[in-house]
Structure 1
Amino acid sequence: MSYSRACCTIPPVDSNYTPKGKFENIGDLPVYTVGPSDAKKAIIVIYDIFGLHKNTQQFCDVLAEHRGYKVLLPDFFRGDAWNQSLGNTEAIVAWLGKVGTFDVIAPQLEQVRESLQAQGVTTAGLVGFCWGAKIAVLATAVDSFFGAASLVHPSLVDIKDAENAKAPILALPSKDEPDMTAYMEVLYKKSFGSQCKHQRFDDMAHGFCGGRADWSDELNKKRATEVIQLTVNFFDETLKA
């Protein structure tokens, strides 16, 4: 199935949304899956520390419905996402050190990749929210199957990750993230630098597209829709089957 840019204007996100996908297991990893089974291109979405949420699932559904991607949202935390106060940074870091390091997540991503390749998928993009953005950019450095990554209000931003990235990056920070200008300058100098994009949302707080987002708020709704549109456009330009 082919999709023209003319039909690719993304509708506004819905605060009262029912996800359209289904859950499958890849090995022992639960995965929310949506989109055509015969797709040649896929998107793997890596959520924030709050785990599965209908906002993130809606993001997946839009990518599948409007661009024909097979979209997968692995439940890396297996139903045991962070559910305590955000004020205890030390506790969050300690928890992520057990369940959310790249060494822990990478073998699971490899498992997902192998499953996709067995189904005929030839390339995949990554979307990462908050902590997931860190995982996404790190993954581009070690696996050429991942052809691009969209980083949505990324946390744990480190310029070394930009230095090691091996695929185009779309950076979409909120007002709460550090200035990513230097990070992007590193990316712009790479062979794929012209495909890298950066848009800052200075009127949005961290998490405006993820588990803490309030899409009943009109401005939040508008900005989240813009992020999805930018991500769609980015993958249109970067993912080649």
Structure 2
Amino acid sequence: MAGSQCCSNPPTLNPHGGAGTVELLGGLKTYISASSNSKHAVLLISDIFGYEAPNIRMVADKVAAAGFYVAVPNFFYDDPFVYDNKPLQVWLKDHGTDKGLEDAKPVVEALKAKGFSSIGAAGFCWGAKVVTGLSKSKSFISAAVLLHPSFVSLDNIKEVNVPIAILGAEIDDYGPPTLLKQFEEILVAKPEVDCHVEIFPNVEHGWAVRYNADDQVAANSANEAHKKMLDWFSKYVK
């Protein structure tokens, strides 16, 4: 179900990275990055490498600089996927997306308790399935973005009820362009749900968060995806 593409380009984790701080939110340790005038919140849900990955925190800081209060929870309880510790399929048994969704709900409630009535959520790979679950109800989030999604089914997409942008890779075994086009067909048939589906050329699964910042071409593609994500939240999280 998941293999080399999900695990490629593993980051070097850094618990002290980023411009933000780590706080408890909804019962989970959470990387928080926020501007002084944040009026709306964004929940970022990582891929299998977790909330200490430098790029996910870099993305959080970028979204915060645009005026949002950004939360990146530690959904894996300090047990992100690590090569050679155990096979990915074994790791996934203890870190399923269903559990991630249940853990995400108290985080959303905690954000609301802070006064954020409008919340966006973006998920990368593993996190995209969790965000899709939150997208079933406007009582959870106002808008969603999926970046190189994994584990998301046609039935999941049929249940989406908030504006959703899906940003996929041309080279992707887990969210291939053919599947994302089917997602688009389902969403277009729901006129009450605004959607945007885009396939980024010449990039692989994971490109938006597991890129080498020193590789200008890779960084440019990732930055373009981040801008599209921010544009979506600026439009619908207000």
TM-score range, shorter chain: 0.7 to 0.9
1:65 aligns with 2:65: yes
Partner of 1:171: 166
Give per-residue Cα distances to partners, 1:166-196, cap 9 Å, x unaligned.
1111111112131211111111122334x31
SS in 2 for 1:48: coil
Structure 2: which amino acid aligns with 1:65? A
CA distance in 2, matches of 1:42, 1:20: 17
Partner of 1:190: 190
- Which structure is higher in strand share? 2
Report the CA distance between 1:142 and its aligned residue: 4.2
SS in 1 for 2:31: strand
Report the CA distance between 1:41 and its aligned residue: 1.4
Report the CA distance between 1:82 and its aligned residue: 0.4
Partner of 1:15: none
1:122 to 112, 117, 120: 117
State which drifts further: 37-46 or 166-175: 37-46
1:147 aligns with 2:142: yes
Instruction: Give the RMSD, CA atoms, in angstroms.
Output: 1.9
Report the CA distance between 1:80 and its aligned residue: 1.0
CA contact (8 A) 1:151 1:171 kept: yes
1:80 aligns with 2:88: no
Report the CA distance between 1:130 and its aligned residue: 0.4
CA contact (8 A) 1:49 1:131 kept: yes
CA contact (8 A) 2:97 2:127 kept: no
Report the CA distance between 1:85 and its aligned residue: 5.5
Percentage identity across paired residues of the two chains:
31
Partner of 1:101: 97
CA distance in 2, matches of 1:155, 1:77: 17
Partner of 1:7: none
Report the CA distance between 1:28 and its aligned residue: 3.9
Structure 1: which amino acid aligns with 2:70? V
Give per-residue Cα distances to partners, 1:48-86, cap 9 Å, x unaligned.
0011211011111111112x1100000111221000259
Partner of 1:228: 226
Q: Which runs of 5+ in 2 are unaligned?
A: 1-16
Q: 1:112 to 1:189 in 2, by over 3 A?
A: same
SS in 1 for 2:38: coil
SS in 1 for 2:43: strand
CA distance in 2, matches of 1:204, 1:173: 9
SS in 2 for 1:172: strand
Q: May I ask how many residue pairs the two structures share in their alignment?
A: 216
CA distance in 2, matches of 1:49, 1:187: 27
SS in 1 for 2:70: strand
Q: 1:235 to 1:146 in 2, by over 3 A?
A: same
Q: 1:80 to 1:108 in 2, by over 3 A?
A: same
Partner of 1:134: 129
Which has the higher relative contact order, 1 or 2, with Cα contacts under 8 A spaced 6 or more apart? Answer: 1
SS in 2 for 1:34: strand
SS in 2 for 1:201: strand
